[in-house]
Amino acid sequence: MNRRVVVTGVGLITPLATGVEESWTKILAGENGIGRITKFDPTGFKTQIAGEVKDFKPEDWVQKKQVKRLDTFIHYALGASRMAWEMAGLPAELSSDLSEKAGCLIGVGLGGLHTLEETVGALTEKGPNARVSPFFIPKLIGNMASGQVAIEYNLKGPNICIVTACAAGSHSVGEAGEFIKRGAADLMLCGGSEAVITPTTLAGFGAARAISTNNDNPAKASRPFDAKRDGFIMSEGAGILVLEEREHALERGAPIMAELTGYGLSCDAHHMTAPDPNGDGAYRCMRMAVASAGMDVDQIDYINAHGTSTELNDALETKAIRRLFGEHADKLPVSSTKSMIGHMLGATGGVEAVFSVLSLRDQVMPPTINYENPDPACDLDYVPNVKREARIKNVLSNSFGFGGTNASLVFSEPGE
């Protein structure tokens, strides 16, 4: 089936802002959303900084009676989905025919960890006499973001949740596109949502020595590809897209922002947390995405990198890009928006997919801020510190996760 997939709406909740345009404006300005943790007292932890969502009010996006029944990651998914839904110009109620051909695929990394920690704490303190919410399990499990969004918009088509660590958001967008291509759906809400800035998560990533300890200078802590990078910054938020079959979007006069032209996925099969030392999984994943788009490598104009600010990831992503793109890599801009908003784990692929679409819309590449000290192992054009206007036809977006799981997406200008 030669069904084409287009993007007709997007939604964003980030440490910079609740909303698409405000988040994007601040990204292009190189603003930083990282600060000292306020959701709990981080005193005593080696890392005391994160990218917290600051201005989100769940009651603005969720029915009042539902707020306490849903975990924060579900709140974020509902908020970003409404933004995307409204931008796409979709009706409040779908027709019965479209309802059965509309679905939802929202990925997560860890799910309702806030809920889990609160409940375990109560049981530890009071034992079997602790009051456990009847909504504990529905608040906890990862697929309830997709489930609640489906309930909100009466989406009766495909509804699943992908949990592939830091690649979950990108896998969700890619697989949602595959549903549309093969005719299982005409419309999909997809992306990622995450809200796991908790003591347990902070302790766990800290024990793994994966996160930055630059507590005295949070604005400079996330520094992808810089020689002085010392780990990623944990953050939270959501990025949601409306994908539609192209003819379906045209028939209803929808605003087409971009086309999803390529999708690749692979596994390193090497180590539970460390990437393949040759960058082989990332290379094969990007190669598949570009090939599935029917393109030559020199047709990619910009890469929104995974770029976590960890020593191994940044060097090996660079190595994989050089291997795939050859001489084109010398003139191929690559940047990491994680330098400004940190790493949203399961949500990051959805958020960066939205940024990729906005790069095409506005013909601009966001910067990699805090790039001050060149690293011989990272020798590409990282759009250092200042946005760059340029002619952009095709964007590649990368996400690589624990377990060696990889996802790459290609977004292109809307074609004829």
Q: Is 395 exposed, middle or buried (0-12, 13-18, 19+ CB in 10 A)?
A: buried
CATH match of 262-412 with 3.40.47.10: yes
- Tell me what the mean pLDDT of segment 124-147 comes to: 93
Give how far Cα 131 sits from Cα of 114, 198, 199, 349, Å.
16, 21, 22, 36
pLDDT band at 170 (very low <50, low <70, confident <90, very high): very high
**CATH number, domain 5-251, options 3.40.640.10, 3.40.47.10, 2.102.10.10, 3.30.540.10:** 3.40.47.10
Beta bridge partners of 263: 409
Distance between CA atoms of residues 175 and 177, nearest Å = 5
Rounded Cα gap, residues 8 and 252, in angstroms: 11
Domain ranges of the chain: 5-251, 262-412
Task: Give me the mean pLDDT over the 75-94 stretch.
Answer: 96
Q: What is the pLDDT of residues 112-132, one digit of tens each?
A: 999 999 999 999 999 998 999
DSSP-H helix ranges across 255-341: 280-292, 311-325, 338-341
User: Which residues fall within 8 angstroms of residue 91, CB to CB, at 6 or more apart?
Assistant: none
What SS3 state is found at 223?
Answer: coil
Q: In CATH terms, are 5-251 and 262-412 the same topology?
A: yes
Q: What does pLDDT average to over the chain?
A: 96
Check: CB of residue 73 under 8 Å from CB of residue 194: yes
DSSP category for residue 264: E
Q: Where are the alpha helices (DSSP H) in 127-253?
A: 136-140, 144-153, 168-181, 199-207, 246-251
pLDDT digit string, tens, across residues 311-355: 999 999 999 999 999 999 999 999 999 999 999 999 999 999 999
Would you say residue 66 has pLDDT above 80? yes
Q: How far apart are CA 265 and CA 169, in angstroms?
A: 12
pLDDT for 1 equals: 62
Q: What is the DSSP letter of 384?
A: B
Predicted confidence at residue 274, as pLDDT, reads 86
Question: What tokens were used for 141?
Answer: 């499990």
Q: Is the pLDDT of residue 23 over 70?
A: yes
Quick: pLDDT tens for 214-246. Answer: 999 999 999 999 999 999 999 999 999 999 999
pLDDT at residue number 93: 85
Look up the pTM and report it: 0.97
Please give the helix or strand (H or E) that residue 353 lies within, else none.
helix 348-362
The yes-or-no answer on residue 161 being catalytic is no
Rounded Cα gap, residues 66 and 44, in angstroms: 35
Which stretches of 236-309 are DSSP H helices? 246-251, 280-292
Q: Burial, 59: exposed, middle or buried (Cβ in 10 Å; 0-12, 13-18, 19+)? A: exposed
List, as own/partner pairs, every contact residues 329-333 make where C-beta atoms lie below 8 angstroms and the sequence separation is at least 24, other chains included. Answer: 329/380, 330/381, 331/381, 332/300, 332/301, 332/302, 332/303, 332/380, 332/381, 333/301, 333/302, 333/303, 333/365, 333/381, 333/382, 333/383, 333/388, 333/390
Distance CA 345, CA 110 (A): 8
Mean pLDDT of all residues in 9-17: 98
Set 166, 190, 285, 378: catalytic member:
166
3-state secondary structure of 336: coil
Q: How far apart are CA 352 and CA 197, in angstroms?
A: 19
Answer whether 365's CB lies under 8 Å from 392's CB. Answer: yes
The rounded distance, in Å, linking the Cα atoms of 351 and 157 is 23
Q: Which residues contact 206 (CB under 8 A, 6 or more apart)?
A: 45, 46, 47
Q: What are phi and psi of 211, to 5 degrees?
A: -110, 150
Give the DSSP letter of residue 218: G
